[in-house]
Amino acid sequence: MENTRKAGILLHPTSLPNNYGIGTFGPEAYAFVDFLKKAGQNIWQILPLGPTGPGDSPYQCYSAFALDPILIDLTHFVKKGWLESSDLKEAEKANSGRVDYAFANGSRSNIFKKVHDLFETSATQEEIADYEAFTSKQSYWLNDYALFKAIKETMAGKPWYEWPDEIRLSEAESLAQYKESLSQRIKYHKYLQFVANYQWLALKEYANKNSIEIIGDIPLYVSYDSSDAWANHEVFMLDKNLNPDLVAGVPPDFFSETGQLWGNVLFNWDFLKQTGFEWWIRRISYNLELADIIRIDHFRGLLAFWAVPFGEETAINGKWIDAPGKELFEALYEKFGELPIIAEDLGVITPDVDALREKYNLPGMKILQFGFDESDFNGFLPHFYHPNSVVYTGTHDNDTVMGWYNELSSDIKLKFHKYAGSIGSGPQWLMIRLAWASVSQMAIAPLQDVMGLDTDSRMNIPGTLVNNWQWRYFEGQLPDEYAHRLKDLSILYSRINPDLKDTSAI
């Protein structure tokens, strides 16, 4: 990755404001890009964009490739003339500061069906050609996903491993029958993917034109209840009945005394090696279309992963199993050359993980909140950083800076202020200044930290299953003051967006 200093904001699109229950790829997303530009930023980092399942986690999706249709901008169809504003009434809901996933998913069905019907009767030749090009190019995952979603609807949303054996095991005759009987719903789900992809890429293009890069996010694992595990079961560690013997997690760590039991299916690395890592190459290739830079979550799992017996209630009784990360990256490098990848290298990191990251010049992650404790030598303090890193005030898995600060002991608070060089200033801006001043090539803060919000605005608490991924901000919560302060810091520490002609402090 190029060694230029950059800065930006972590914000998932679901957190954007509007009156439709959840943030989307709509006008508010473009307004956020404008804010980033005004603030001199050149990075927008997001979480995975996939269709979420129970628990609403973007790290537990129904597909490793699909985008979540609830992120589609509904006003797009009004601008096209296909719908009237009144047609969107059933999807309207005032922004409460929290995402309502149940409402967002349930309120769009009629609208999506109507626009799909209109597409089939009213689309221009150019639109039809674009749709056919998309479905042809993405057929390697799209056909399975659309069929998976259509069948799931007939099964009242049950996970695929609870379907009748003939379709659970993908018997040819049963598959053919479902493809025929559900052909219209299959086309419907393909269309939604086409629209979501089109809208996201248009938004990404707008960001790129303003010299703002998108950092996307790839969960290392996929959900057991996913089209990938159902249609490509050989890629995963499943027995002859397609049940997992082991599932993914991490051992006890900073976030949880009992570890984290994710429950994802694990990869069958022997099969992946035999196929030249084709599934992973396709995954990386598609994500490089969706983002400029990719963060691989739980990067260390590519060299060794924590495997927990299926049915365990915690992740304590797991074991480490080696994975062929070196061979995988050899294949990726041969295919793509230099890899615009950030390695999430937090937790228990062994020398081979560092060696793989350094061999391919992949920046690792530094979390400022981790730097302040009672130890004398803490590698998360900026004076220990290497330029080939990305520093965060915190991530989606951390408390906000204000929530974190409020829980510190008086001694650690004093240590923090002494290190930051200022006593009495707002902790969130001291943390942002420390990040921006560091030698790390990229510095990123969650939007909640720019706003100085407390624990109530935290995005996720690892190891918990409810009330996560819901935070949203309100219209008017991004005053020019925040843009000015971020721009000043970005000028001061040589991280300014190159498109800004005026690089004088405001």
Q: Produce one character per residue of 277-306: b if its CB has 16 or more CB atoms within 10 Å, e if not.
A: bebbbebbebbbebbbbbbbbbbbbbbbbb
- As to burial, measured by CB atoms within 10 angstroms (0-12 exposed, 13-18 middle, 19+ buried), residue 161 is middle
Burial of 68 (0-12, 13-18, 19+ CB in 10 A): buried
Q: What is the DSSP letter of 122?
A: H
CA separation for the pair 385, 11 (Å, rounded) = 24
Q: At 483, list the tokens.
A: 């843009």
Tokens standing for residue 300: 């260390």
CA distances from 229 to 61, 156, 164, 237, 371 (A): 11, 19, 16, 9, 39
Any idea which residues carry the catalytic annotation? 297, 344, 397
Q: What is the rounded CA–CA span in Å between residue 498 and residue 248?
A: 42
Q: What totals of helices (H) and strands (E) does the chain contain, helices first?
A: 19, 12
Q: How far apart are the first and last CA of the chain?
A: 31
Tokens of residue 350, six digits = 């062994």
* Beta-strand pair 304-309/319-322: antiparallel
- Residue appearing with tokens 């004398």: 376
Q: Cα dist. 121→90, 118, 276 in Å? A: 23, 5, 43
